[in-house]
A and B are shown apart, each in its own frame.
Chain A
Amino acid sequence: MAPNAHDRDDRPAEEADLSARLQRLGEKLDQHRPSKASSDASAPRSGTRFAGFARGFRLSSELVAGVLVGAAIGWSLDHWLGIAPWGMIVFLLVGFVAGVVNVMRAAGVMPEQDARRRDT
């Protein structure tokens, strides 16, 4: 009988202790939660996680492509119109400028063609 009574006295005390600990834990968790939520919001979404890598790969070929197209146009004009070397000289430069424009656009320094239109 005596041990039982002792238990009955003890149980409320234990429960109070437990609930106090739970409350403390909840407070601690609350302190952590807002910071976790904000870091979740600032973390990139799954679709943009590889955007940095992707951009690096993209920049490398944009410039070359512009120069190549310029050279191809220049060479064709020279070939058809017989104005060598002027077509090549002019269009190689134009192609180079177009390549730089491509790179700037890919890097986000210059807005995309349609985005720029939306602003105006």
Chain B
Amino acid sequence: MADPIHQFEIVNLAPLVKIGATEIQLTNSAVFMMVAVGITAFLMIGATAGRQLVPGRLQSMAEVTYEFVADMIRSTAGEEGLRFFPLVFSLFTFILFANIVGIVPYTFTVTSHIVVTATLALLVFFTVIGYGLYSHGLGFFRLFVPHGIPGYILPFVVLIEIVSFLSRPISHSVRLFANMLAGHITLKVFAGFVAGLGGALGLVGWVGGVLPLAMVTALTALELLVAFLQAYVFTLLTCIYLSDALHPGH
């Protein structure tokens, strides 16, 4: 049976530059990141180049995506949150297209590696801290001090708030990574059953293989939903965290 983990292997395709002892290679992961960026660029630049008043199909896709993200920011972080629109929109489209491209057979799923998702989550995490300190100074740390808590349990509550804050990038990155990894392994395992049954049992096996094949079909549809949902969840949480940087205390 095919190895279900094999699809996540990083393959060096071409050496790019060498810095000291570290050689930087063009990997399959990097190629599919570029594919995701390329699709986004095509959708956003290519499709809206016509600037029609009555949008065509591609242009309305671009407009719907814009509206979707802008609405999400407005409803979670308020109008001020729109200054982070470029960041949030880039994150959403990058993750969405990386996930969707990953469903196509023989492609590589960029977001199934925790290095990638953790980098994105830490980018958001440090943006929140950086912007919070920049705009509110030390007042940003009032985020950890809730109002109306009696003095004797305040140190304990502050400790819990800090741990809760530190746990954000972990839950943020692990959720996306684990969902993509688990989904793709499940797909591969069920697809492996089809070939395995046919190879082992002959005709009976091929007939029985219809069941896992139906499962693979259903799972692919589910994966498409998960691909969108995880991009949505990641972006939504980004908005919620950014809203903490915008209003840590009033």
Which residues of chain A have a CB within 8 Å of any CB of chain B? 45-48, 50, 53-54, 57-58, 60-62, 64-66, 68-70, 73, 91, 94-95, 97-99, 101-102, 105, 112-114, 116-118, 120
A68 interface neighbour in B143, B167, B230, Cβ under 8 Å:
B167
Asked whether B178 lies within 8 Å of A61 as measured between CB atoms, the reply is yes
Asked whether B72 lies within 8 Å of A47 as measured between CB atoms, the reply is yes
B248 interface neighbour in A48, A54, A101, A114, Cβ under 8 Å:
A114
In the complex, B164 has a CB within 8 A of chain A: yes
- Give the chain A neighbours of B248 by CB distance below 8 A: 113-114, 117
Q: Which residue of A lies closest to B162 (CB)?
A: A98
Given the interface contacts A58-B175, A68-B170, A99-B167, does A50 sit within 8 Å of B247 by beta carbon? no
Shortest Cβ distance from residue B225 to the other chain A in the assembled complex, whole angstroms: 8
Complex Cα–Cα for A112 and B249 (A): 12
- Give the chain A neighbours of B108 by CB distance below 8 A: none
- Give the chain A neighbours of B232 by CB distance below 8 A: 50, 54
A-B contacts, 28 listed (Cβ < 8 Å): A46-B68, A47-B72, A48-B75, A50-B228, A54-B233, A54-B236, A57-B175, A57-B233, A62-B171, A64-B174, A65-B174, A66-B171, A68-B170, A73-B163, A94-B159, A94-B160, A98-B163, A102-B167, A102-B171, A112-B243, A112-B244, A113-B161, A113-B248, A114-B143, A116-B147, A117-B147, A117-B247, A117-B248
Shortest Cβ distance from residue A104 to the other chain B in the assembled complex, whole angstroms: 10
In the complex, B38 has a CB within 8 A of chain A: no
- Give the chain A neighbours of B178 by CB distance below 8 A: 61
| 7 further interface pairs, Cβ-Cβ under 8 Å (given A101-B164, A117-B249) | A48-B75, A50-B228, A62-B167, A66-B167, A101-B160, A114-B244, A114-B249
Identify the 10 closest CB pairs spanning chains A and B, nearest first: A65-B171, A98-B163, A65-B167, A65-B170, A98-B164, A69-B167, A47-B71, A61-B171, A61-B175, A114-B247
Which chain B residues in 100-148 approach chain A with CB under 8 Å? 142-143, 146-148
In the complex, B166 has a CB within 8 A of chain A: yes
Shortest Cβ distance from residue A41 to the other chain B in the assembled complex, whole angstroms: 16
Which of A58, A69, A101 lies at the interface centre, i.e. has the most chain B CB atoms within 10 A of its CB?
A69
Complex Cα–Cα for A65 and B237 (A): 14
Complex Cα–Cα for A99 and B247 (A): 23
In the complex, B186 has a CB within 8 A of chain A: no
Complex Cα–Cα for A50 and B236 (A): 11
Q: Which residue of B lies closest to A65 (CB)?
A: B171
- Give the chain A neighbours of B72 by CB distance below 8 A: 47
Complex Cα–Cα for A58 and B241 (A): 14
Complex Cα–Cα for A94 and B68 (A): 38
Shortest Cβ distance from residue B144 to the other chain A in the assembled complex, whole angstroms: 9
- Give the chain A neighbours of B161 by CB distance below 8 A: 98, 101, 113
- Give the chain B neighbours of A91 by CB distance below 8 A: 163
Complex Cα–Cα for A116 and B161 (A): 13
In the complex, B250 has a CB within 8 A of chain A: yes
In the complex, B168 has a CB within 8 A of chain A: yes
Asked whether A69 lies within 8 Å of B233 as measured between CB atoms, the reply is no
Which chain B residues in 58-88 approach chain A with CB under 8 Å? 68, 71-72, 75
- Give the chain B neighbours of A57 by CB distance below 8 A: 175, 179, 229-230, 233
